[in-house]
Amino acid sequence: MSKREIFGWAMFDVANSAYTTVVITVVYSAFFISHVIPSGSVWGNSWWALAISLSSLLAMFLAPLIGSWIDLYGGKKRWLTLLMLSCATATMGLYFVQPGMVISAVIILVFSNTAWMLSESVCASFLTDIAHEKQMGLVSGIGWGLGYLGGLLSLILVLFGIITATSDSPAYLHQNQLAMVAVGLYFMLASIPTLIWLKERRPYTMGQVQWQSLASHSWHSFQASLKLTHQLPTLYRFFIIFTLYSAGMATVIKFFGIYVETELSLSAAEKTTVFLALQVSAFVGALLFGWLESRIGARYTISLTLLWWMAGLGCIHQLIPLSGLIGVEINTLFIACTVIAGAGLGSTQSASRALVGQLSPSQHSGQLFGYWGMFSRLAAIIGTTSFALVSDLLSSQQALLLVMGFFAAGAALILKLPIDTGIAQARSYRD
C-alpha cells in the first residue's frame, strides 16, 4: 500500500464532507426551512425530502451506469474529478437563491446532491485498489475519520468566519449565500491532494468510448447482476440489511439541522456547540470504531454502532423526562445525546464501506460499489420521505421512533450475516 496514495484518497473524504456537513446536515437545511420556504407553510420538511429523494433517485439510476463505464473503459479518477467539479459548482449556485424561490433551490439541490452521492460511490470503489483485504476496515476508517475532521473545519469556517449574524438580521441571508460559495471553493481546493496523488489505473480518451457498446454493456451488467446475486448471495443480503439501517442514517444526516432549528430553543452559541460536538464525536468515533473493527470484524462493529445510535436517539426522544430525572438542563442534555449518537455516525458508514470491499470480487469493484451507492440512495428515499411525512402529519418526536426502528432491524439482521462465507464467495468468483 502507498501511504501517499491512501492519504490522497482520504483527502477526498475531507473535501466532500464540507458539502454534506454544511449544506445537507447543518446550515443550508435549516436556512431552507426558515428562509426559503414561505412562512406559514406546513410542508417544509416534505419540500426538503423531495430534493433529497429526487437526487437519491437520480443517483440510484446513474451509479450502476457509471460503475459499468468504469469497468468497461476505466477513467475512475476522471469521473471523480468531474463529479467533484459538478457538485462544487452547483453548490456555489445556491448563492443566487432568494426567499420564496423554493423550486430553484430544489433543482440546484437535486443537481449538487446527485453529483455528491455519485462521487462518494466512485471514491469508495478505489478502496479495492489502494488497500489489502485485511486493511480495508482501517483505511476506510481513516478516510471517514479525516472526513469528519474536514467537516468540522468547514463548519468552523462557516459558523465563525462567514455566518456571524443572527437569523433575524438582514445580513443573515447574504451570509448564508456567501457560505455556499465558500463550501464550493473548499470542495475544490481540498480535493487537490486527491487529484495529485490518487492514481488513474486505467485512463481513457473519449475516442475509446462507444455509446452503443456502453448501453449494451450496461444492459448486460444488469443481467450479470442477476448472476452476481446467485454467486454472491451474502453481499446482496448485506445490501438489503444496509438499506434498512442506512435509511435511519440518511434521515439523521438530512434532518439534523432542521430538527435543531424547529424543535429546540437553542441560542446561536448553543447551536454552534451542538454542530461542532457532532463533528468531533463523529471524527473520534470513526477512528475508535475503525480500530475496533480490525479486532472484532465489520459485522459486530456495525451492530454495536447501531445500538449506539439507538442509545443516542433514545436520549433525544426522552429529552424532557430525562432532564427532569437527572436534573440536567435540556439544552445541555441534548448536546450530550448528540455526542453519543454522533460517535456512531462515521464508524457505521466506514464499516459498511469496508464490508462491501471484502465481499466484492476486485474485477467487479466499480459495478458493485455502484450498486452499494444505489442501495444507499434507495435508503435515503425511504428514510427521508417516511420521516418527513410522519413529522409533518404527526410530530418529529413520533418520526424519531421510526428512525430507531430502522436501526433496530439493521442491528438484529447484521448479526446473522455469514461474513466468512461471503468472503469465500468473493474469492472464488469467476466470470
* Nearest-angstrom CA–CA distance, 388 and 386: 6
Its pTM stands at 0.78
- Cα–Cα distances in Å, from 321 out to 118, 162, 317? 42, 37, 9
b/e sequence 23-40, b meaning 16+ C-beta within 10 Å: bbbbbbbbbbbbbbbeee
Q: Is the pLDDT of residue 192 over 60?
A: yes
What is the structure's pLDDT at 346? 66
In this structure, the dihedral spanned by the alpha carbons of residues 147, 242, 309 and 331, taken in order and rounded to 10 degrees, is 70
In a domain, 2, yes or no: no
Which stretch of DSSP H or E encloses residue 181? helix 170-190
Residue range 123-134, pLDDT digits in tens: 988 887 887 767
b/e sequence 56-74, b meaning 16+ C-beta within 10 Å: bbbbbebbbbbbbbbbbbb
Q: Is the pLDDT of residue 209 over 70?
A: no
In a domain, 171, yes or no: yes
- Confidence bin at 175 (pLDDT 50/70/90): very high
Q: Is the pLDDT of residue 292 over 90?
A: no
Q: Which residue has the higher pLDDT, 53 or 396?
A: 53
Q: What are the grid coordinates assigned to 183, written together?
A: 463550501
Range in 7-11, 90-94, 224-228, 334-338 with the lowest mean pLDDT: 224-228
Alpha helices in 2-43, H assignment, sequence order: 3-18, 27-31
Q: Which of 135-149, 158-172, 270-284 has the highest mean pLDDT?
A: 158-172
In a domain, 1, yes or no: no
Sign of CA dihedral 138, 21, 263, 330: positive
Q: Which of 184-193, 195-204, 388-397, 401-410 has the highest mean pLDDT?
A: 184-193
Q: How many domains does the chain have?
A: 1
What is the structure's pLDDT at 311? 87
In a domain, 208, yes or no: no
What is the structure's pLDDT at 342? 79
In a domain, 269, yes or no: yes
- The per-residue DSSP string of 293-318 comes to HHHH-HHHHHHHHHHHHHHHHHHHHT
In a domain, 204, yes or no: no
Q: Is the pLDDT of residue 115 over 60?
A: yes
* Nearest-angstrom CA–CA distance, 421 and 370: 22
Share of the chain above pLDDT 90, in %: 30
- Confidence bin at 366 (pLDDT 50/70/90): low
Q: Is the pLDDT of residue 364 over 80?
A: no
What is the structure's pLDDT at 196? 93
What CATH number does residue 51 fall under? Answer: 1.20.1250.20
The mean pLDDT value for 313-340 works out to: 84
End-to-end CA distance of the chain: give it in Å, rounded. 27
- Range(s) of the domain holding residue 386: 7-199+221-427
In a domain, 111, yes or no: yes
In a domain, 34, yes or no: yes
Residue in the block written with cell 468510448: 209
Alpha helices in 74-101, H assignment, sequence order: 76-93
Other beta carbons within 10 Å of 145: 25
What are the phi and psi torsion angles at 132 (to 5°)?
A: -75, 160
* Nearest-angstrom CA–CA distance, 123 and 57: 19
Share of the chain above pLDDT 70, in %: 93
The mean pLDDT value for 181-193 works out to: 97
Q: Which residue has the higher pLDDT, 113 or 70?
A: 113
Distance from chain centroid for Cα 221:
26
